[in-house]
Structure 1
Amino acid sequence: MVSCVPAPYPLNIWCLTILITQVLISSSVWPPPFARRRQISMRAYPEFDAKVSGGFLIHQVGKSFLRVVPELMAPRIQFCDYSTHNDTKIKTLAHLDLAHYHTDAWDKFYQKYQERPASGSYRKVISGSKTYETERKSLHDILEELEQSEGVAGLKRLHRELCVAKPDLVARLDQYDLYPLYNFNFDAKRAQYFPQFSI
């Protein structure tokens, strides 16, 4: 969910990119420069940061709004290739927040996890982020190695550290102003756009 609607942009801007904030799973605490980012990430996720950069159990590219130029574009999963691509045609909207709901409580996460390595967001062809400790690995490889070495217990431990809003994780993130809270007001949004389904 985007915090507000982007304003109109000139025709020479082909792609608007919004970076993401990852939704944590409630643990009964609601509401509760690169080198520096790296230090913060290591403190927030002391066990798994070396494997999963920034604690994101998803891609970190964000989401994009694309200007349709059929003869010049080749859509991809999270972005779009333009034959005349250059950075001047891409603008990052740093003033907008984009909340990304990727995972759920452990039982539902594990159920989806069993499908994602083959056909979902953990496919082997999707690369992960490079960290200082590891070469570039996909989430597929990271999760596969963890499951092979530790079984389901290892996956559950990773999910708990990265995805659950435990009081200690909330405190560490809040220390660096990395724990924003949003009121999505889903009932009002549903009534506004889908009145036939409102309660």
Structure 2
Amino acid sequence: MTRWGIVSTIKAPKAEILDFAAYHLELGAQRLYIHLDDPDPDTLAMLKTHPKIRAFACDDAYWRKQGVKRPAKHQARQTFNATRIYRRKAEVDWLIHMDVDEFLWPEGRVDQRLGALPAATLCARVRPFEALAGDGTGFKGFIPAGPEREAVVERLYPRFGAFVKGGFLSHLAGKLFVRTGLGDLTVKIHNVFRGEEMNPAEVELDDIRLLHCHAKSWEHWLSAFRYRLDHGSYRAELAPARARDKGGLTLHEVLSTIHQVEGETGLRAFYDELCADTPRLRAALQAEGLLHQCDLGLAEKLQKQFPDLG
């Protein structure tokens, strides 16, 4: 049997971490390597009760043991932890770095899909499907790069679509399963490097989706807005959706301007068009073949994997 595992660096409430863990254990993950970026003793203790979870408290003692100063940016901490796990003695055949708000959604079994890949395949990419903020079951489909992408996005999002690459507020790159045993590989958030070579022998897995719950509600989105604007997926250094000479602006510039000029009212209009699970957006996505229903069934999976929660 092909064994696969997930490595994560997480700062989130206990309930979200356990949901993420239970879901992927039910899906067949052999190992979860969970690094708690702001460790909570109760969460750490609960994770350690599960035989398939390796949990790490990334406190001062952890970073001293690693012999490095704690990286200031969370992206650098993610890279360090993912690379460290990859370079350890392998307990799995394939490893993927994921965030706590991401959930694999395969058409079949993950182990069988990975096991069917040719031996020459070293990396396998899964593309994101971004959640609609509503009951948690609606997702926008990924629009592949190509001449039609911009037109589709602007039909879906007539006011703001020109500034939002692929119609997604977060990443389009997806995440990579990486075959273990390839030596001193460096695992970054969306790519891996073997020396100077990026993503060696990569393929796309069209039959496994990466469901990304980027916005769960208006309140959730707004509470994360400032952090994402300064440090996360809306930060200033990320590129615009289209070239500058074609009127392109970064998402950081667009959202900063909306916030300065229109305040929360403007941000709510942006959220409603891009994120909210509305009849208008559902109909528009359906017309483009981009509406997907995926019920994660988190409560049932949590009970199965962590019955001691009561």
Please report the TM-score for the alignment, with normalisation by the length of structure 2. Answer: 0.55
Classify the secondary structure of the residue corresponding to 2:211: strand
Classify the secondary structure of the residue corresponding to 2:222: helix
Could you say which residue in structure 1 is the equivalent of 2:121?
13
Could you say which residue in structure 1 is the equivalent of 2:282?
170
Classify the secondary structure of the residue corresponding to 2:124: strand
**Structure 1: unaligned runs, 5 residues or longer:** none
Q: CA deviation at 1:7?
A: 2.1
**CA distance in 1: counterparts of 2:308 and 2:210, whole angstroms:** 27
Could you say which residue in structure 1 is the equivalent of 2:163?
51
Classify the secondary structure of the residue corresponding to 1:97: strand
Could you say which residue in structure 2 is the equivalent of 1:120?
232
**CA distance in 2: counterparts of 1:127 and 1:76, whole angstroms:** 18
Classify the secondary structure of the residue corresponding to 1:114: helix
**CA distance in 1: counterparts of 2:305 and 2:240, whole angstroms:** 36
**CA distance in 2: counterparts of 1:62 and 1:97, whole angstroms:** 9
Could you say which residue in structure 2 is the equivalent of 1:2?
104
Classify the secondary structure of the residue corresponding to 2:203: strand
Count of matched residue positions in the alignment of Structure 1 and Structure 2: 194
Q: Deviations over 1:7-55 (max 9, x none)?
A: 223443222111111100128x97xx82333322111111111111222
Asked if residue 129 in structure 1 is aligned to residue 231 in structure 2, the reply is no
Q: 1:173–1:179: 8 Å Cα contact kept in structure 2?
A: yes
How do residues 68-147 of structure 1 correspond to structure 2 at under 5 angstroms?
A: 68=180, 69-71=182-184, 73-83=185-195, 85=197, 89-130=201-242, 133-135=246-248, 137=250, 139-147=251-259
Judged with a 3 Å threshold, the aligned counterparts in structure 2 of structure 1 residues 162 and 190 are, in CA distance, closer, same or farther, namely same
Q: Deviations over 1:121-158 (max 9, x none)?
A: 32223334336943363x32332232233322222111
Identical pairs, percent: 26
Judged with a 3 Å threshold, the aligned counterparts in structure 2 of structure 1 residues 146 and 82 are, in CA distance, closer, same or farther, namely farther
**CA distance in 1: counterparts of 2:186 and 2:240, whole angstroms:** 22
| Higher RCO, Cα 8 Å, sep 6+ | 1
**CA distance in 2: counterparts of 1:159 and 1:105, whole angstroms:** 9
Q: 1:48–1:158: 8 Å Cα contact kept in structure 2?
A: yes
Q: 2:124–2:178: 8 Å Cα contact kept in structure 1?
A: yes
Q: 1:50–1:133: 8 Å Cα contact kept in structure 2?
A: no
**Structure 2: unaligned runs, 5 residues or longer:** 1-102, 139-144
Whichever residue aligns with residue 219 of structure 2, its letter is D
Please report the TM-score for the alignment, with normalisation by the length of structure 1. Answer: 0.83
Larger Cα Rg: Structure 1 or Structure 2?
2
Q: CA deviation at 1:95?
A: 1.7
**CA distance in 1: counterparts of 2:238 and 2:262, whole angstroms:** 23
Could you say which residue in structure 1 is the equivalent of 2:299?
187
Q: CA deviation at 1:57?
A: 0.7
Q: 1:2–1:96: 8 Å Cα contact kept in structure 2?
A: yes
